[in-house]
Amino acid sequence: MANTTFSGPVISDNGFVGNVTGNVTATTVSATGNVTADSGTAPTAGGMLSFAMSSTANLGIYVGSGAPSISAAQGSLYLRTDGTTTNDRIYVRGSSTWIAITTAS
C-alpha cells in the first residue's frame, strides 16, 4: 500500500486500514491493536507528557526519570522509569504536589 498525505479534513465511512505515522489530530480515535505514543522519544528527567486527556489543561499520563518536577493537573499520573523501590515508581498529582503511590513488591 502506498503512502498518502492529506492536507485538510478527511472523512472515512469505513475507517482506514494500515499503519499511521506522524501526528494525528482527531475528535475521536478508535483503534484495533496497539496504539503507540512517543515511542521514538526518550523520557526526560522530571517528566514529559505522554498521553493527554480531556479538556482539562495538563491532565494526562506523564513519564520520566527521577522524581516528577513537571507541572500537571490534579489527578494526572507519572510513571517513573528509574524507580527502584515500592514508593518511587508511580505518582499521582494532588492539588499542589506529586504524591508517591506505594506499590507492592
What is the Cβ-side half-sphere exposure of residue 61, based on CA atoms within 13 angstroms?
6
Say what the pLDDT of residue 31 is. Answer: 72
Q: What is the pTM of this model?
A: 0.71
Report the percent of the chain where pLDDT is more than 70.
Answer: 73
The Cα 76–Cα 49 span in angstroms is: 10
Say what the pLDDT of residue 54 is. Answer: 85
Q: Is the pLDDT of residue 18 over 80?
A: no
Distances (CA, A) of 88 to 78, 83, 101: 10, 5, 7
The answer to whether 67 and 46 are in contact (CB under 8 A) is: yes
Record the cell numbers describing residue 47, joined without a space: 517528566
Record the cell numbers describing residue 31, joined without a space: 483503534
Residue 15's pLDDT band (boundaries 50, 70, 90)? low
Q: Is the pLDDT of residue 97 over 90?
A: yes
Where is average pLDDT lowest: 40-54, 64-78, 79-93? 40-54
